[in-house]
Amino acid sequence: MSHSATSSSPLPATLSASPGSWLGDELTPLSDAGPLLAHVARSAWIVEAPEGLALATGGQAVFGPEQDSRSSEGLSIKGYIPASRPENLGDRSFCKDHGLSLPYVAGAMANGIASVELVQAMGRAGMLGVFGAAGLSLTVVEQAIDRLGTRLAGRPWATNLIHSPYEPAHEEAVVDLYLRRGVSTVSASAFLGLTLPLVRFRLAGIGLDSAGHIHTPHMVIGKVSRAEVAEHFLSPAPAELVGELVRRGELTEAQAELARHVPVAQDLVVEADSGGHTDNRPALTLFPGMAALSRAKQEQFGYARALRVGLAGGISTPQAAAGAFAMGAAFVLTGSVNQSTLEAGTSDAVRKMLAGAGQADVKMAPAADMFEMGVDLQVLSRGTLFPMRARRLRDLYEGHGSLDEIPAADRKRLEGTILGCSIDEAWAGTASFWAERDPAQLARAEGDPKHKMALLFRWYLGSSSRWANAGDPSRTVDYQVWCGPAMGAFNEWVRGSFLDPWENRRAMPIAHNILWGASALMRLSALRSQGVPVPVDCLDLTPREPAVLEELLS
């Protein structure tokens, strides 16, 4: 029996019981292991050379009777390092089901920050981009769907469905649009529980294929950070919601029966300490519990297809991605780093701010879409006063029953420092927005002064993101830039490389370098797990230019 060192075949079962011999002359001392480990498509043997352990490539490995007869000719084999290509990370079924070549997702940063251009770049490279539909009008979202459908015909893409507890009609209208325009995959984010529009999207068109298997043409990727929410996504849709869809004529009784055998979300994204909506949970403690919950739900319901769990929040370096895959993540999802790329739907001013961010340059601030609920999100604090000003608005909201109750001195500071205009002018802009989006909000505000105050303050919170995306120079200190500590970690990793200047940051080289580095680290881990004393810092993970990276992957 012989075995080539360039093969990625698994280690022979006979190796541990009867070590083989390696025949060849391409030896790499352990002190020079880094460059070999970086060539992630090349396998290698660990051999006992005269000078000590070394890595062997090329040549021939022999085992069994052939090894017995030729052992004097070769070096004793002590271990093996398989090839570890990026496409083999994570769960291959995730890539197969979504039509991907790589287990990497660019998350749906709202207000179109996860732009058509970003989603297009991801799809063309065999990765999944999710359009940031949250905060946009139905007209803008439909235009994006048109462009994506044309530019990525036959390639993977998805769009966001965000929970809108204060705008249920808008959430339903978004689902109407998605079903009408043939959107097949959504990333469901910020959900506190399941809603009828979400379940309607998931179950629309459910049926049996020609082999008698349940087919669901619509896929949901649920993004969660709490186990109680994850349970909803990993379970079949609640009977009361399914029953309501039957009563409305949107599901048949036969389809309702099939719904009992599929989860609301086949794929779950565990969201750790991220930018935007987040519970700031550490990935190392959050992911294992969610993975265990997924296994329990799989056992409880006996789904025909296994549930999958990916990881988001803090994924911005090879080390973070490697850690995610080592814990069993089916895929990784990035967020903050994509906002700093040239494809993102934001301004050069924001890209420059993000390129200068450190890990500690983030703070929690009130969220516009869930302001009245007291929900926070994570934003950039360096170069902007938004976090402080947003918290001041919450204090005023919690301390007063209406705008008229705000003391004169506070009102003056509110208009002059935060709003940048009079309350009346700000309300005119607020009323104009809601007259187009949801007139019922204005009707409610007429009889509820507290609600009117909330809508006005949400005008500032929402506008601050648009000012940032547009690069409005007159409102720089009010920029709301969603960002987690991952941005600072990314900046540390790329410092001095071609990705250091913000003008050079593109989504594809970033994604490819993260996955390549994760693959190389998996090889280093395999080497160390076999007792080979190789220092962790032997591997240079500095981002490589695309041409160099292509060579390392070939």
Q: Looking at residues 360-383, what average pLDDT do you find?
A: 94
Residue 54 pLDDT exceeds 50 = yes
Burial 437-447 (b: 16+ CB within 10 A, else e): bbeebbeebee
**CA nearest neighbour of 352 among 500, 480, 486:** 500
Q: Looking at residues 337-365, what average pLDDT do you find?
A: 97
437: pLDDT confidence band, cut at 50, 70 and 90? confident
312 φ/ψ angles, rounded to the nearest 5 degrees: -135, 165
116: pLDDT confidence band, cut at 50, 70 and 90? very high
Question: Whole-angstrom Cα distance, residue 95 to residue 102?
Answer: 7
Residue 7 pLDDT exceeds 70 = no
Q: pLDDT of 272-303, one tens digit each?
A: 999 988 899 999 999 999 999 999 999 999 99
Q: pLDDT of 485-523, one tens digit each?
A: 999 999 999 999 999 999 999 999 999 999 999 999 999
Residue 13 pLDDT exceeds 60 = no
Please tell me the predicted confidence (pLDDT) of residue 111: 95
Q: pLDDT of 377-402, one tens digit each?
A: 999 999 999 999 999 999 999 999 99
Classify strands 44-49 and 52-56 as parallel, antiparallel or unpaired: antiparallel
Please tell me the predicted confidence (pLDDT) of residue 369: 87
Q: How far is CA 162 from the centre of its chain?
A: 15
The ranges assigned to domains in the chain are 1-83, 88-346, 357-478
Please tell me the predicted confidence (pLDDT) of residue 436: 87
**CA nearest neighbour of 322 among 334, 332, 336, 308:** 332
Please tell me the predicted confidence (pLDDT) of residue 97: 96
CATH of 88-346, one of 3.20.20.70, 1.20.1270.10, 1.20.58.220, 3.40.50.80: 3.20.20.70
Rounded mean pLDDT of the chain? 93
Q: pLDDT of 207-221, one tens digit each?
A: 999 999 999 999 999
Q: pLDDT of 144-201, one tens digit each?
A: 999 999 999 999 999 999 998 888 999 999 999 999 999 999 999 999 999 999 999 9
Please tell me the predicted confidence (pLDDT) of residue 68: 58
Residue 339 pLDDT exceeds 90 = yes
Q: Looking at residues 23-38, what average pLDDT do you find?
A: 91
33 burial level (CB within 10 Å; 0-12, 13-18, 19+): buried
Contact 446, 351 (CB under 8 A): no
237 φ/ψ angles, rounded to the nearest 5 degrees: -60, 140
Question: Whole-angstrom Cα distance, residue 370 to residue 5?
Answer: 57
Contact 423, 413 (CB under 8 A): no
70: pLDDT confidence band, cut at 50, 70 and 90? low
Please tell me the predicted confidence (pLDDT) of residue 72: 65
Q: pLDDT of 204-260, one tens digit each?
A: 999 999 999 999 999 999 999 999 999 999 999 999 999 999 999 999 999 999 999
Q: pLDDT of 524-551, one tens digit each?
A: 999 999 988 888 889 999 999 999 999 9
Contact 233, 185 (CB under 8 A): no
Please tell me the predicted confidence (pLDDT) of residue 156: 95
Please tell me the predicted confidence (pLDDT) of residue 513: 98
pTM of the predicted structure, to 2 decimals: 0.92
Please tell me the predicted confidence (pLDDT) of residue 510: 98
Please tell me the predicted confidence (pLDDT) of residue 26: 87
Question: Whole-angstrom Cα distance, residue 542 to residue 547?
Answer: 14
Residue 467 pLDDT exceeds 50 = yes
